[in-house]
Chains A and B, each alone.
Chain A
Amino acid sequence: MTLPAELRAHIATDYQPVRPLRSPWARTLWILPLAAVALFAASIAFNVRQDAPNLGWLGVWGLSIAQSVMGLLVVGAALRESIPGRDWSRGAIALWLAIPIVTVLGVTLTSWEASPVLLHAGWWLVGGICFAGSAATALPVVAFASILAARAYPTRPAVAGALLGLGAGLMADAGWRIFCHFSEPAHVLSAHLAAVVMSTLIGALVAVRLCGLRSSSVRRGGP
């Protein structure tokens, strides 16, 4: 079989040498500054949680850094997913979705064990602030990671987007928990985890939209 003349001519019009993309894990490092901002933003803008002395450095910063690193790994998995032929199996995707949730559960229960602080009043208000703050902090990471994913060629943009949204949500929540004064699992697992889930959904939507825009612009640019 030989390359059809018309296709060859079309390809020749926009052919130029390209530099191959760096490995997904190397590109994940570009997220590092945003991950750091997400980790420190809430505590710098507002305060560190009041029960910090009870939790100690490991309980406050150690657990948050661990959660943030997990978030980075999930974004790396999303960037790998967005390369053709390097997509994850269903089982691996299930694991990538389950492990972060287990991580959040683990961090929540560890904090509750070390320093049980109940939320007595203003359940909806505090929950709303934590949900909105955490979800909003995730947005810049979602946006940047979506651009990185779309620069590749995701064959399943919804999966890649959900993973990067989940990773961004974990990073944002890792920062927000340093500020949130309440360790009550019901509050954390409703407001904070809901923000992670919301970030996952936003990631999927943004990636699908971005990839759709990219394909239509490629089509418009054709001869």
Chain B
Amino acid sequence: MADDQALRELMREYQSGRFEAFDEIYASIAPAVRRYLLSQARDGAKADDLVQETFLQMHRARHTYDSSFPLMPWTMAIARHVWLMDRRTLSRRPWTPEDVTAMDLPVKADAASFADRVEVRRALGKVAPARRNAVIQHHVLGFSFKEIAERAGIAETAAKLRSSRGMQQLRALLKGTTDGAESKRKR
């Protein structure tokens, strides 16, 4: 992590118009922010989402940073706020599709066997809850990202990130299962 003076300088540059400074700030402090959020959320995928949201909020609140003070307390206050807001949203959310086994998932017509459905459901069950919700709401229930963001009380970008990461995780999980099945068949 860059030292405190360097971080202050980077943030000052970001405030005054050097966009690339944000890349450097991210590279310097994102691991620390993630560690803090992971200690709160105890879920790696959730912590990743919250890190994105924290940096988005840092960008929006950049005018409130005073470079005569250290950057980390300002950042951590935003991260804590993001975490608390997420927890509050979760507690207020009226419905979450946690029970994926009971859902009618649209598996491709040419691969719509019972086994495929079971595999997809099983893999989906392993995807982190926040990402799974975004995937199901967008790809299964047909909600737009704007609607998902409104329901979850998050930014639209965060909803997109959750969904795309959920899909990535799902693909990786499904690839793992198909690779496993193929190697069994070869043996």
A positions within 8 Å CB-CB of B: 1-4, 6-8, 10-12, 15-21, 23, 83-87, 152-153, 155, 218-219, 222-223
Once A10-B56, A18-B15, A21-B66 are accepted as A-B contacts, the answer to whether A84 and B81 lie under 8 Å apart by CB is yes
B positions within 8 Å CB-CB of A: 15-17, 19, 22-23, 26-27, 30-31, 34, 52, 55-57, 59-67, 69, 73-78, 80-81, 149-150, 153-157, 160-161, 164
Does the CB pair B19–A2 fall under 8 Å? no
CB neighbours (8 Å) of B66 from chain A are 20-21, 23, 83
CB neighbours (8 Å) of A19 from chain B are 15, 63
Does the CB pair B69–A86 fall under 8 Å? yes
Does the CB pair A84–B64 fall under 8 Å? yes
Complex Cα spacing A7 to B150, Å: 18
Q: How many inter-chain contacts with C-beta < 8 Å in the A-B complex?
A: 98
Once A2-B27, A11-B22, A17-B15 are accepted as A-B contacts, the answer to whether A84 and B78 lie under 8 Å apart by CB is yes
Does the CB pair B22–A20 fall under 8 Å? no
Once A11-B22, A84-B74, A84-B78 are accepted as A-B contacts, the answer to whether A17 and B150 lie under 8 Å apart by CB is no
Does the CB pair B64–A15 fall under 8 Å? no
Does the CB pair A18–B62 fall under 8 Å? yes
Complex Cα spacing A32 to B92, Å: 40
The closest CB in chain B to the CB of A11 belongs to B59
